[in-house]
């Protein structure tokens, strides 16, 4: 397969070799074409996309950076957009449709193939982060009474509309899902056998309203490639493929990481500065007030710090290690929740385990800190204060780092949301209070 480097295509642009660019970029694999366009200088990106054939563009557009795709959709000619969407699977076309403004969407839906338009309208009804929102309508299903020849003829008639034909769904007269069979089984079964005779009745499906994160859990748990989507009455609506789930897993992982630091997933590397400021400012404002709360705790011991100024040098050690320990615990627990490892029956054991880890780490790190403090200041009581406060704060880190995400999950709140700022605040308060409190009593 042709390999085209960024430097080569930039050189072609600079030399105004349009025909050569068009020829070479259209020989690329869609993944390579998307990567090259994403990495091109901004002045060439939209132009390079416009040189793609409609078929290749339909495979590339959803893999472009969000900001670039928005620019393309704002400037693209309607005829070109219709040609691209006509080439796309229903789920991918729906993703593009969801980004169009109301007027643009209405015009496009009127001009694309009516069957495709109807499918997009049906998919737009569902929330984008549900099984219905990520499923595609292109499926092959056979009636349970079809024999081998009838099933093969049906597949031949509909194969062009469906990619990755691993499984065929079996339905009854009411289009209710009753089974599933592998395409290879048709090659092995006898001619007179019917779908109902060779299908697997133990079929796994996803309700259309199921959250996409739960759908990803089904793929992970059962190690499957295709998942049928059904309504409340078990009518077959569509299917979800494993490549869609890979995108979901990436999206959910990114979303959790963003939430843990107070960012929206829409805040990307090349988001405009003003837009990033609007997204980040509320979180930073919240951090300001939590920092004021922490500083008020420190203010209680202002007299102690004034008399023993060297305490100010050691304070960040206690708070910093406690915060890091709490974040480690938060990450482990949040991941356990996301993967379904934590249940009602084992949550208590997980919290106890994290508290135990925190205490042990507190003793070990505290012992080293105590020795260092003694060597620096020659004061065994100062070392003891530092060591004991380290144990106390590591205990707090284990407790709040494990319990806060569990409590938030119980309250139907995303555990990743605001957990980090709460844990940082509580470990800072715990660390300063224990360190300065012990210093006031003993020093």
Going by the DSSP 8-state scheme, the letter that residue 345 receives in this structure is T
Tens-place pLDDT, residues 363-387:
999 899 888 888 877 778 888 888 8
Tens-place pLDDT, residues 130-178:
999 999 998 999 999 999 999 999 988 888 778 777 889 999 999 999 9
* pLDDT for the residue numbered 61: 96
* pLDDT for the residue numbered 265: 54
* pLDDT for the residue numbered 71: 92
* pLDDT for the residue numbered 66: 84
The angle formed by the CA atoms of residues 316, 264 and 324, to the nearest 5 degrees, is 20
Helix (H, G, I), strand (E, B) or coil at 206: strand
pLDDT band at 257 (very low <50, low <70, confident <90, very high): low
The pLDDT of 70-88, averaged and rounded, is 93
Neighbouring-strand partners of residue 239: 136, 228
Rounded mean pLDDT of the chain?
A: 87
Residue 93 has pLDDT above 90, yes or no: yes
Cβ contact 409:415 at 8 Å: yes
* pLDDT for the residue numbered 435: 87
Cβ contact 144:178 at 8 Å: yes
Rounded to 10 deg, the angle between the 419-442 and 380-410 helix axes is 150
CB < 8 Å & 24+ apart, contacts of 406-414: 406/333, 406/337, 406/342, 406/347, 406/351, 409/337, 414/256, 414/259
The pLDDT of 406-427, averaged and rounded, is 79
Please name the helix (run of DSSP H) or strand (run of DSSP E) that holds residue 226, with its range, or none.
Answer: strand 226-230
Residue 264 has pLDDT above 60, yes or no: no
Residue 297 has pLDDT above 80, yes or no: yes
Q: What is the DSSP string of 227-273?
A: EEEE-TT-BEEEEEEHHHHHHHHHHHHHHHHHHHTT--TT--TTS-H
The pLDDT of 205-217, averaged and rounded, is 93
% pLDDT > 70, the chain? 94
pLDDT band at 267 (very low <50, low <70, confident <90, very high): low
* pLDDT for the residue numbered 77: 93
Tens-place pLDDT, residues 5-19:
888 899 999 999 999
Cβ contact 292:284 at 8 Å: no
Residue 235 has pLDDT above 70, yes or no: yes
* pLDDT for the residue numbered 249: 81
From residue 31, alpha-carbon distances to 28, 58, 63, 228, 364 in Å are 8, 12, 8, 26, 49
For the entire predicted model, the pTM comes to: 0.69
> How many whole angstroms separate alpha carbon 389 and alpha carbon 54?
65
pLDDT band at 260 (very low <50, low <70, confident <90, very high): low
Residue 263 has pLDDT above 70, yes or no: no
Residue 437 has pLDDT above 80, yes or no: yes
- Specify the higher pLDDT residue, 65 or 208: 208
Torsion of CA 197, 198, 201, 205, to 10 degrees: -130
Going by the DSSP 8-state scheme, the letter that residue 168 receives in this structure is E
pLDDT band at 259 (very low <50, low <70, confident <90, very high): low
230 phi/psi in degrees, rounded to 5: -130, 160
Strand 226-230, strand 236-241: pairing: antiparallel
Cβ contact 193:200 at 8 Å: no
Tens-place pLDDT, residues 100-119:
988 899 999 999 988 889 99
Q: Two tokens at 111?
A: 């001009």
Residue 2 has pLDDT above 60, yes or no: no
- Residue 327 CB contacts under 8 Å (≥ 6 apart), including other chains: 401, 420, 423, 424
């Amino acid at each position: 397969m042709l390999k085209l480097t960024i430097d080569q295509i930039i050189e072609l642009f600079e030399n105004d070799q349009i025909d050569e660019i068009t020829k070479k970029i259209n020989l690329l694999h869609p993944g390579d074409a998307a990567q090259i366009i994403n990495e091109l200088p901004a002045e060439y990106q939209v132009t390079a996309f416009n040189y793609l054939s409609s078929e290749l563009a339909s495979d590339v557009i959803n893999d472009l950076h969000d900001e670039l795709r928005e620019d393309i959709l704002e400037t693209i000619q309607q005829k070109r957009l219709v040609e691209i969407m006509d080439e796309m699977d229903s789920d991918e076309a729906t993703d593009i449709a969801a980004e169009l403004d109301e007027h643009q969407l209405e015009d496009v839906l009127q001009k694309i193939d009516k069957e495709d338009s109807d499918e997009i309208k049906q998919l737009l009804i569902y929330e984008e982060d549900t099984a219905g929102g990520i499923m595609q309508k292109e499926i092959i299903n056979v009636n349970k009474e079809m024999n081998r020849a009838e099933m093969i003829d049906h597949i031949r008639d509909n194969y062009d509309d469906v990619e990755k034909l691993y499984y065929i769904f079996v339905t009854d007269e009411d289009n209710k899902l009753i089974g599933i069979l592998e395409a290879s089984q048709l090659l092995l079964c006898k001619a007179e056998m019917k779908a109902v005779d060779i299908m697997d009745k133990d079929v796994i499906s996803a309700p259309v309203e199921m959250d996409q994160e739960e759908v990803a859990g089904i793929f992970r748990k059962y190690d499957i490639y295709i998942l049928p989507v059904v309504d409340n009455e078990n009518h077959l609506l569509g299917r979800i493929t494993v490549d869609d789930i890979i995108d979901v897993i990436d999206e959910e992982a990114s979303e959790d990481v963003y939430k843990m630091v107070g960012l929206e997933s829409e805040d990307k590397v090349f988001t405009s500065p003003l837009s990033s400021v609007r997204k980040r400012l509320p979180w930073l404002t919240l951090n300001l007030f939590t920092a004021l709360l922490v500083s008020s705790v420190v203010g209680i011991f202002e007299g102690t710090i004034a008399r023993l100024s060297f305490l100010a040098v050691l304070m960040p050690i206690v708070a910093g290690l406690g915060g890091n320990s709490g974040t480690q615990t938060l990450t482990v627990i949040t991941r356990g929740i996301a993967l379904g490892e934590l249940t009602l029956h084992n949550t208590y054991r997980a919290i106890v385990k994290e508290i135990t880890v925190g205490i042990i780490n507190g003793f070990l790190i505290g012992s080293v800190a105590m020795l260092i403090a003694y060597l620096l200041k020659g004061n065994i009581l100062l070392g003891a204060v530092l060591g004991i406060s380290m144990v106390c704060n590591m205990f707090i880190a284990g407790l709040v780092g494990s319990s806060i995400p569990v409590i938030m999950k119980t309250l139907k709140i995303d555990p990743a949301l605001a957990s980090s700022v709460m844990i940082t605040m509580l470990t800072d308060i715990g660390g300063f209070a224990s360190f300065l409190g012990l210093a006031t009593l003993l020093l």
